[in-house]
């Protein structure tokens, strides 16, 4: 791991929150992700299953956590299983966690090897009536691959048909959505790494550079700062490519006079940041580009202000829609007839702003978190309005990451990342050549 070890107290708190919501005589199991194949002997770099990471800090394959608060043997109230290491693995893959290290990372005293799981689990199941399964019910999930967790669930259902099944997801969705101070600090750290990348790129972009060269500049800065790299596939979109919302080719040459939309951010210790900035390739916005840019910035600032405890996520987006509608009228992109003819399901602004304003941010870029109950303090959201105008050859999106406060406006974790048009222009024009 490139990141510095995280405080085990964070994982202890997270487990305590999960266990507090479990039914009596129940245990919960969390499996790590598989190593996913590419072909031949190649695999994708390992990415830990985020719930297991959230509860243990263990960032290693073939790990399993069992939480069983009512276990007869107090040693079995929390049990961690990690892959047994040996000299061969140490030579070929490098060091894996030994039992003491696994305890140091997670705060879990009882650590067994993964190959001991079946027998320990059978013993624990004989004391339990209910087993919590960790199904993925995230509102945007569309996974076709059968995960290690799903294979485990199938097996348990077959071997233990008399146990009652319960869902871990609703508990995790609720607790992961409200961040601990340590988590806010990690997201803020990731934002800081992203800022370094953006400042580097402000000194690099000029007519003639290629989108992939910009991608490389970011990656260099991210990895130099102990990040694995991008928190999600970066979008580096010059000119009209900004109007393709998920443009990830990043293979065009940036032309003088174009705008460049960059939705690029670093991860740190598995925590995401999620930034979008839009800059002029030549270092100066045209009058029209600037007009649209300022409109998006105003919407972003007002949308941020509105993100307070008590408001519903869907209501917030509706309010932002009204602000956006006023800006689009002012820009001449909508007229009164468009607005009069709109319906609740098909508001006129969607022609130019067709995605959501906010999503939870954390261990996943589109993180877990309640969306149907009122927003509460210490939720971390993106705020990311955009105006996309294919007929004018450009699109503008601005995206910051904010923490909802008990009182007052949210705290912007990207406050120091340049966003005012003058500052962007100044930094681009005063760069060292
Ligand atoms: N970068 C993904 C998003 O903004 O939601
Ligand atoms: Mn983004
Ligand atoms: Mn986002």
Pocket of ligand 1 (CB under 6 A): 232, 263, 274, 359, 365, 384, 399
**How far apart are the CA of 151 and the centre of ligand 3, in A?**
31
**How far apart are the CA of 401 and the centre of ligand 2, in A?**
10
**How far apart are the CA of 243 and the centre of ligand 2, in A?**
14
Mutate to test the pocket of ligand 1, among 230, 365, 369, 380 (most ligand atoms within 8 A of CB): 365
Q: How far apart are CA 395 and CA 301, in angstroms?
A: 18
Instruction: Judge whether 87 lies within some domain.
Output: yes
Instruction: Judge whether 156 lies within some domain.
Output: yes
Question: How much is the pTM?
Answer: 0.97
CB count within 10 Å of CB 335 equals: 11
121 and 250 in a common domain: no
Q: How far apart are CA 274 and CA 236, in angstroms?
A: 13
Residue that terminates a domain, selected from 121, 152, 177? 177
Instruction: Judge whether 292 lies within some domain.
Output: yes
User: How wide is the angle at C-alpha 415 spanned by C-alphas 232 and 411, nearest 5°?
Assistant: 90
pLDDT in tens, the chain (433 residues): 999 999 999 999 999 999 999 999 999 999 999 999 999 999 999 999 999 999 999 999 999 999 999 999 999 999 999 999 888 888 888 889 999 999 999 999 999 999 999 999 999 999 999 999 999 999 998 888 999 999 999 999 999 999 999 999 999 999 999 999 999 999 999 999 999 999 999 999 999 999 999 999 999 999 999 999 999 999 999 999 999 999 999 999 999 999 999 999 999 999 999 999 999 999 999 999 999 999 999 999 999 999 999 999 999 999 999 999 999 999 999 999 999 999 988 999 999 999 999 999 999 999 999 999 999 999 999 999 999 999 999 999 999 999 999 999 999 999 999 999 999 999 999 875 5
Q: Which pLDDT score is estimated for 432? A: 59
Mutate to test the pocket of ligand 1, among 245, 263, 278 (most ligand atoms within 8 A of CB): 263
**How far apart are the CA of 94 and the centre of ligand 1, in A?**
34
Residue that terminates a domain, selected from 160, 177, 194? 177
Is residue 215 within 8 A of residue 236, CB to CB? The reply is yes
Which residue, 280, 303, 320, 309, is CA-closest to 426?
280
- Kind of pairing between the strands at 400-403 and 411-412: antiparallel
Q: Which pLDDT score is estimated for 203? A: 96
Instruction: Judge whether 2 lies within some domain.
Output: no
Q: In Å, how far are 43, 235, 236, 262 from 397, measured between CA atoms? A: 34, 11, 12, 9
State the CATH number of the domain containing residue 328. Answer: 3.90.230.10
State the CATH number of the domain containing residue 118. Answer: 3.40.350.10
Q: State which residues form the domain around 31.
A: 8-177
**How far apart are the CA of 407 and the centre of ligand 3, in A?**
24
222 and 287 in a common domain: yes
Determine which residue's CA is closest to atom 3 belonging to ligand 1: 274
SS3 letters for the chain? CCCCCCCHHHHHHHHHHHHCCCCCCEEEEEECCCCCEEECCEECCCCCCHHHHHHHCCCCCCCEEEECCCCCCHHHCEEEEECCCCHHHHHHCCCCCCHHHHHHHHCCCEEEEHHHHHHHHHHHHCCCCEEEECCCCCCCCCCCCCCHHHHHHHHHHHHCCCCEEEECHHHHHHHHHECCHHHHHHHHHHHHHHHHHHHHHHCCCCCCCEHHHHHHHHHHHHHHCCCCCECCCCEEEEHHHHHCCCCCCCCCECCCCCEEEEECCEEECCEECCCEEEEECCCCCCHHHHHHHHHHHHHHHHHHHCCCCCCCHHHHHHHHHHHHHHHHHHCCCCCHHHHHCCCCCCCHHHHCCCCCCCCECCCCCCCCCCCCCCCCCCEEEEECCEEEEHHHCEEEECEEEEECCCCCCCEECCCCCCCCHHHHHHHHHCCCC
259 and 152 in a common domain: no
Determine which residue's CA is closest to atom 5 belonging to ligand 1: 366
Which residue, 220, 180, 194, 185, is CA-closest to 274?
194
Residue that terminates a domain, selected from 127, 153, 177? 177
226 and 117 in a common domain: no
Instruction: Judge whether 3 lies within some domain.
Output: no
122 and 15 in a common domain: yes
Is residue 156 within 8 A of residue 148, CB to CB? The reply is no
Q: Which ligand is nearest to the CA of 381?
A: 3
210 and 148 in a common domain: no
User: How wide is the angle at C-alpha 420 spanned by C-alphas 414 and 425, nearest 5°?
Assistant: 120
Q: How far apart are CA 39 and CA 5, in angstroms?
A: 32
143 and 86 in a common domain: yes
Which residue, 16, 128, 108, is CA-closest to 63?
108
Is residue 283 within 8 A of residue 425, CB to CB? The reply is yes
Written as six digits, the tokens of 274 are 């999620």
Give the number of domains in the chain.
Answer: 2
**How far apart are the CA of 233 and the centre of ligand 3, in A?**
12
Q: Which pLDDT score is estimated for 433? A: 55
Ligand 1 atom nearest to 265, measured from its CA: 1
Direct distance between the N- and C-terminal alpha carbons of the chain, in angstroms, rounded to an integer: 35
């Amino acid at each position: 791991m490139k990141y510095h070890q995280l405080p085990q107290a964070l994982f202890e708190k997270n487990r305590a929150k999960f266990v507090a919501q479990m039914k009596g005589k129940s245990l919960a199991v969390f499996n790590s992700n598989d190593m996913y194949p590419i072909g031949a002997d190649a695999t994708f770099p390992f990415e830990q299953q985020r719930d297991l990471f959230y509860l243990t800090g263990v960032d290693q394959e073939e790990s399993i956590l069992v939480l069983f608060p009512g276990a007869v043997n107090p040693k079995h109230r929390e049990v961690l299983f990690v892959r047994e290491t040996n000299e061969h693995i140490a030579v070929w893959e490098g060091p894996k966690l030994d039992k003491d290290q696994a305890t140091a990372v997670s705060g879990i005293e009882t650590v067994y090897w993964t190959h001991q799981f079946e027998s320990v689990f059978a013993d624990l199941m004989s004391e339990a009536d209910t087993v919590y399964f960790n199904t993925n019910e995230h509102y945007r999930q569309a996974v076709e691959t059968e995960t290690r967790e799903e294979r485990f669930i199938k097996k348990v259902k077959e071997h233990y048909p008399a146990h009652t099944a319960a869902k871990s997801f609703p508990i995790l969705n609720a607790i992961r959505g409200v961040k601990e101070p340590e988590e806010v600090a990690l997201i803020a750290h990731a934002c800081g790494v992203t800022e370094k990348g953006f400042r580097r790129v402000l000194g690099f972009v000029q007519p003639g550079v290629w989108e992939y060269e910009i991608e490389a500049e970011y990656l260099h800065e991210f990895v130099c700062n102990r990040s694995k790299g991008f928190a999600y596939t970066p979008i580096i979109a010059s000119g009209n490519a900004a109007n393709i919302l998920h443009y990830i080719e990043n293979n065009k040459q940036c032309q003088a006079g174009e705008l460049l939309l960059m939705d690029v951010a670093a991860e740190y210790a598995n925590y995401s940041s999620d930034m979008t900035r839009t800059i002029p390739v030549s270092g100066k916005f045209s009058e029209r580009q600037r007009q649209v840019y300022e409109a998006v910035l105003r919407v972003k600032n007002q949308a941020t202000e509105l993100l307070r405890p008590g408001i519903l996520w869907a209501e917030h987006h509706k309010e932002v829609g009204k602000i956006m509608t006023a800006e689009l009228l002012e820009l001449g992109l909508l007229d009164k007839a468009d607005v009069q003819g709109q319906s609740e399901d098909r508001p006129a602004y969607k022609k130019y702003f067709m995605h959501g304003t906010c999503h939870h941010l954390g261990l996943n870029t589109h993180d877990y978190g309640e969306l149907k109950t009122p927003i509460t303090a210490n939720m971390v959201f993106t705020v990311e309005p955009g105006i996309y105008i294919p007929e004018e050859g450009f699109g503008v999106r601005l995206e910051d990451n904010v923490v909802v406060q008990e009182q007052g406006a949210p705290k912007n974790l990207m406050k120091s990342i340049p966003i005012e048009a003058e500052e962007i222009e100044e930094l681009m024009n005063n760069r060292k050549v």
